[in-house]
Amino acid sequence: MSRAPWIRARGEAPIPTQLIDNRKPVDKAVLVGAPQKDVPIALADEHLAELARLTDTAGGQIVGTVRQRLDHPQPRYYVGEGKAEEIRDVVAATGADLVVFDEDLSPAQGKNLEDLVGVRVLDRSELILDIFATRARSREARMQVELAQLEYMLPRLKRMWTHLSRIRGGIGLRGPGETQLETDRRMIGERIADLKEKLQAVTRAREVQRRGRAGQFRASLVGYTNAGKSSLLRALSGDAEIFVEDRLFATLDSATRSVDLGDGYAALITDTVGFIRKLPHHLVASFRSTLEEAREAELLLHVVDASFPNWQEQFEVVEDVLTQLKLDDRPQVLVFNKVDRLTHAEEEALRDRVRAFEPRPAVFVSALDPASLVALRETLKARIRRGLPRVHIQLPSGDGELLAWIYREGEVLEREDKGAVIDVTARIPDRLLASLRQRQGIRVVDVA
Ligand SMILES: Nc1nc2c(ncn2[C@@H]2O[C@H](COP(=O)(O)OP(=O)(O)OP(=O)(O)O)[C@@H](O)[C@H]2O)c(=O)[nH]1
Ligand SMILES: [Mg+2]
């Protein structure tokens, strides 16, 4: 798919919206990290490493890195004046055609920096939007990304125009007149309204589809990008077609599969787009409808890459985004994935820590090791059972086979052995219940 989809889709807007120039084989990028002084150095390094991965995903090659630790951002260039000049010099020395900031820049800071360094300046949000724009596949995801990009762009139109006049040589060109800017603003406004309407229609269609699936237990995989959500759905469902990649944002469209949990239980599990630090809020907003699937889920499976040294930060980012999406009150199971990469001692230490600090249920798995998924399947089954109707069953004590069946497929809450009979209070799946009701010598009473 092309970048900046609205240009080609409409063919009429002469707006310079290509964030990374994809006519050239590779964009040479200089990365800039300017964290506040209270951010520990190791963490700042990790953020920059993640920015490097994002740049790589977007097709850029890193040719330089500039850092500064700030008390607070400066209004003109975000970084200090001297540091901004250093960026300009590094760009000149390396022949870079792009500067990528890890911090969010205001429209004015972006413009001032571009004027100074003479090449395109992106911030993290723009880079993420660019990746989404190139990787979105379904019509819905593409509309969502386009909407997010347009909303991001609107306050920055002037800067983008200035940039265009410069790359075109710009002799005697002082940027477009206000009239042209106004025309563009209006056109973008109209397109935004149009996209919102179309996305609402998709959401409505999805609702209808969902109603048809009512009654089935639903769970959603959520988590930081690259945590292994798609790998887990692949392993659980056995569907080898599910796309897995060692890249950020491999999945942009949600996919739902029916997963057989054994003993007659099944769940519909949805794989969703991954989250990341500083996910542009326009994007979070426009991905709401994709995440509607998660909203429908009775249970969220929060997948954590346990092999990542600083998984806690990723964990907190995910919790934050879930709060923004008003999904934070949904029951969760924490799924610590990639434990195959931990030593036995590391895994034990992780388990102890999680047990000590985390009230939510947690499982420790590896998507690459099917045997490790047993605990996850059991947890899902237990959740399903908790939603089942409660009944009293009286059965002959001699019927050990039936009792074993009830234990296996249901959840026994109470049991009283009364000589010739056994009284059991249990949650029982429909299929077993139907068969119990038909048997001779068994009494079944519903409990409210
Ligand atoms: N060693 C190991 N690697 C894993 C495991 N699970 C996933 N991976 C790898 O981690 C990378 C990312 O996996 P995905 O399943 O695509 O991750 P995701 O959470 O769906 O990522 P996004 O779709 O980008 O949000 C791939 O290279 C997987 O092979 C695991 O349990 N152990
Ligand atoms: Mg995925």
Shared domain check, 77 and 25: yes
Q: Is residue 51 part of a domain?
A: yes
Asked if residue 4 has pLDDT above 70, the reply is no
State pLDDT tens for residues 195-226.
999 988 888 887 777 676 666 899 999 999 99
Shared domain check, 363 and 229: yes
- Residue 434 burial (CB < 10 Å; 0-12/13-18/19+)? exposed
Shared domain check, 275 and 355: yes
pTM (2 d.p.): 0.81
Q: What is the CATH number of the domain that holds 421?
A: 3.30.70.240
Band of the pLDDT at 3, cuts 50, 70, 90? Answer: very low
> Which strand (E) or helix (H) includes residue 121?
strand 120-123
**Distance from residue 193's CA to the centre of ligand 2 (Å):** 30
Q: Is residue 347 part of a domain?
A: yes
Shared domain check, 393 and 378: no
Confidence at residue 193, expressed as pLDDT on a 0 to 100 scale: 94
Confidence at residue 272, expressed as pLDDT on a 0 to 100 scale: 87
Q: Is residue 154 part of a domain?
A: no
Q: In angstroms, how far apart are the furthest CA atoms of the chain? A: 102
Domain boundary among 119, 136, 153: 136
Gap between the terminal Cα atoms of the chain: 55
Asked if residue 94 has pLDDT above 50, the reply is yes
Q: Which residues of 327-355 are buried (b: 16+ CB within 10 A; e: fewer)?
A: beebebbbbbbbbeebeeeebeebeeebe
Shared domain check, 374 and 235: yes
- Least confident span in 54-63, 110-119, 273-282: 273-282
Mean pLDDT score of the chain, rounded to an integer? 85
Mutate to test the pocket of ligand 1, among 50, 57, 226, 338 (most ligand atoms within 8 A of CB): 226
Domain boundary among 342, 369, 384: 384
Q: Give every CB contact of residue 307 below 8 A, 6+ residues apart in sequence.
A: 338, 339, 341, 342
> Look-up: residue for tokens 């963490």?
43
Q: What is the DSSP code string of 163-195?
A: HHHHHT--TT-----HHHHHHHHHHHHHHHHHH
- Least confident span in 20-34, 107-121, 312-326, 340-354: 20-34
Q: In the predicted model, what is the mean pLDDT of residues 313-318?
A: 94
- Least confident span in 3-12, 32-41, 334-343, 363-372: 3-12
Q: Is residue 203 part of a domain?
A: no
Shared domain check, 341 and 296: yes
- Residue 410 burial (CB < 10 Å; 0-12/13-18/19+)? buried
Which residues constitute the domain of residue 80? 5-136
Asked if residue 249 has pLDDT above 90, the reply is no
Shared domain check, 403 and 328: no
Q: What is the CATH number of the domain that holds 49?
A: 3.40.50.11060
Shared domain check, 285 and 234: yes
Q: Whole-angstrom Cα distance, residue 151 to residue 153?
A: 5
Shared domain check, 250 and 228: yes
Confidence at residue 186, expressed as pLDDT on a 0 to 100 scale: 86
Q: In the predicted model, what is the mean pLDDT of residues 245-259?
A: 84
**Distance from residue 340's CA to the centre of ligand 1 (Å):** 12
Task: Compute φ and ψ for 357, nearest 5 degrees.
Answer: -110, -10
Confidence at residue 178, expressed as pLDDT on a 0 to 100 scale: 58
Give yes or no for a contact between 423 and 394, defined as CB atoms under 8 angstroms apart: yes
- Least confident span in 181-190, 221-230, 271-280, 392-401: 181-190
- Three-state SS for 265? strand
Considering its fold, how many domains does the chain have in total? Answer: 3
**For residue 139, which amino acid is it?**
R
Q: Give every CB contact of residue 50 below 8 A, 6+ residues apart in sequence.
A: 248, 276, 277
Q: Is residue 170 part of a domain?
A: no
Asked if residue 363 has pLDDT above 90, the reply is yes
**Distance from residue 237's CA to the centre of ligand 1 (Å):** 15
Q: In the predicted model, what is the mean pLDDT of residues 265-275?
A: 90
Instruction: Give the ligand with the smallest distance to the CA of 302.
Output: 1
Confidence at residue 162, expressed as pLDDT on a 0 to 100 scale: 57
Mutate to test the pocket of ligand 1, among 224, 231, 308, 346 (most ligand atoms within 8 A of CB): 231
Q: What is the CATH number of the domain that holds 259?
A: 3.40.50.300
Q: Is residue 177 part of a domain?
A: no
State pLDDT tens for residues 179-201.
677 778 888 889 999 999 998 88
Asked if residue 41 has pLDDT above 50, the reply is yes
Give yes or no for a contact between 149 and 19, defined as CB atoms under 8 angstroms apart: no
Shared domain check, 336 and 257: yes
Shared domain check, 415 and 316: no
Asked if residue 88 has pLDDT above 80, the reply is yes
Structure tokens at 82: 């001297």
Shared domain check, 378 and 237: yes
Asked if residue 448 has pLDDT above 80, the reply is no
Asked if residue 141 has pLDDT above 70, the reply is yes
Mutate to test the pocket of ligand 1, among 56, 244, 273 (most ligand atoms within 8 A of CB): 244
Domain boundary among 384, 407, 425: 384
